[in-house]
Structure formats: structure tokens, C-alpha cells
Amino acid sequence: MTMAWQLVKPGIVAGNLIAVLGGYFLASRGQWYEPRVLLATVLGTTLVVAGGCVLNNCIDRDIDRRMVRTCHRVMALGACPLGLASVYGVLLASLGLVVLQRCCNDLAAALAGLGLLFYVGFYSLWFKRRSLYGTPVGSLAGAMPPVIGYCAVSAHFDAPAFWLLVMFCCWQIPHAHAIAQYRREDLRAAGLPILTMARGQRQIVIGILAFVLSAVVLGLSSAMSMAWFLVIGGLGSCWLAVALARPGHGEGRRWARRIFGWSIILVLASSLMMSTAHPGLSLDAGGTPALGG
């Protein structure tokens, strides 16, 4: 049981769950619309993300052995047969897709499948090991959970869904580059491509600016209250100020950790505000929450 729990990377699963709830409540305008759909969305997305993490552990077992941070993972230690772990990952992901398709809608399941394809297929199997552009590819997979939550309620991919996807893709860029910068030695030991500090800082600044801009457009397309713009503008400005500060000699790791810390604050704040920053709720003739945009 412990081994099965460790394989799913519970920290990553929990982080994605927060984003799923943000997307769900954005679409429902902060209302507990159809709790059955909410439960199915959370369960289905959690299972798909968990399955993807298990498969990622299987794929990355060789490079995990070479990094201090990951050398004690189950697959890196060879504590679980590769075939058994692979079947476990496929079963989790498949079950999650079935739950989303049967209990939510086809669109939510398709988005989850697309995210799984990008994470396991394109990112883990190819770009992570061979290209400096692995982060943008992986960001699409990382941005899917809130969009799944949104589309599980709305059942269509509209302007807010698009900007929600863009916003979380942009958030992934500084978040991932910050991790790469303060774990440079581990990544070098694993033979993975990594940006220079200067180039990484430029990508982080660009990502933060794009995140704030897309968040503003999301707020406009979703008719969010002024609280959304104040929180995103204020916290986004603080994040940008940290990113623009040039780290002194030997301060690169500390600077990168601050960027990472602020990325967590921003994703938590934005998910919370998507649940609360609505000027009011209007219902259509069928009693369904009317979506902005």
C-alpha cells in the first residue's frame, strides 16, 4: 500500500486537485452546482493525474537514480517490477477517463486524455530528455486540470476555458524554470538539458508577464469582480519584482526558491479567487449557472 501511494506522487496530485476546484467553481460562478459532478470531476481527474505520475516514474527510473532528490523513489530503487507499475498506472488513468466520460461529459474526458498524452508521451518520453523546450510542452499537460474542472460544468470550450488554459500554461513556465534553477546540479547529474541562469531568468520574467496578462483577459471574459484584478495585479507585481531582481554571486538558488515560493502563492490565490471573485450568480431558464463570456 505504501509503495502504491508513493508511485502516484501525492504532492503533485494534491496540487492539481486545487486547480481542478478553481476551474470548477469558475464555471459554476462559485456555486456548489451539482455536487455529483464535482465529486466525479475531482475523482476522475485525480485518477488520471495519479496514473500519469506512475507512468512518469516508470519512464524516469534511470534518470531518477542519478539525482539526489529522486534516487530513493520506488522505481529508481527497483522496488517494484516495471510491468506491474506500468499496469497500475494505465489502470488508474483509464479508470479516471471512464469516470469523467460517464459522470461528467466527453469534453472533460478528452481534455484529460490530451493532458495525459502530452505529459507521458511528448514530455516524459521525448522532450524532457532531449530539448530545452520541454517546459512549454509539459506546461500544456500541467494546465489541463483547471480546464477539466471548468468544462465538466460548462460542457463546452469557450473563451474563459481558452484563457484559463493559457493562464495556467504561462504559470507553469516560471514555476518549472525556478525548480530547474535551484536543482541545477541534480539535472546535470541526470544529463538533462537546462537553461543558463540568465536565459532562465528571461524565460521566468516573460512567463510571469504572460501569466498576469492572460489572467486579466480571463477575468474580463468571465466577468470577474474587481477583487480578481486587484489580487492578480498585486501578487503578480510582487512575483515580477522578485524575478527582476538580479541574484548576486552564489545567490542563484535562493533567488530561484523565492520564485518557486511565489508561484505557489499565485496558483493558490488564483484558484481561490476563481471560486469567490464573482459579482453575482445568474441562472438560465434551466437553472444552470450562466457562464461569463
- 95-143 residue pLDDT tens: 999 999 999 999 999 999 999 999 999 999 888 888 878 888 889 999 9
User: Looking at the predicted structure, is the pLDDT value of residue 206 above 90?
Assistant: yes
Phi, psi at 289, each rounded to 5°: -55, 130
What local confidence, expressed as pLDDT, does residue 274 receive?
Answer: 93
User: Looking at the predicted structure, is the pLDDT value of residue 290 above 70?
Assistant: no
H helices of 245-279, in order, are 252-276
- Tens digits of per-residue pLDDT, 258-285? 999 999 999 999 999 998 887 754 434 3
User: Looking at the predicted structure, is the pLDDT value of residue 39 above 90?
Assistant: yes
pLDDT-based confidence at residue 200 (cuts at 50, 70, 90): confident
Residue 103 CB-density burial (10 A; 0-12 exposed, 13-18 middle, 19+ buried): middle
Provide mean pLDDT across the span 246-264. Answer: 87
For 33, 96, 109, 139, 252, the CA distances from 22, given in Å and listed in that order, are: 13, 19, 18, 17, 32
Q: Are 271 and 19 in contact (CB under 8 A)?
A: yes
pLDDT-based confidence at residue 195 (cuts at 50, 70, 90): confident
> Cα(248)–Cα(250) distance, rounded to whole angstroms?
6
> Cα(278)–Cα(227) distance, rounded to whole angstroms?
9
Q: Which three cell numbers stand for residue 285?
A: 431558464
What local confidence, expressed as pLDDT, does residue 131 receive?
Answer: 84
User: Looking at the predicted structure, is the pLDDT value of residue 47 above 60?
Assistant: yes
Q: Are 273 and 227 in contact (CB under 8 A)?
A: yes
Cα 73 to chain centroid distance, Å, stands at 21
pLDDT-based confidence at residue 1 (cuts at 50, 70, 90): low
User: Looking at the predicted structure, is the pLDDT value of residue 241 above 80?
Assistant: yes
What local confidence, expressed as pLDDT, does residue 43 receive?
Answer: 96
What local confidence, expressed as pLDDT, does residue 280 receive?
Answer: 52
User: Average per-residue pLDDT in the chain?
Assistant: 89
What local confidence, expressed as pLDDT, does residue 52 receive?
Answer: 95
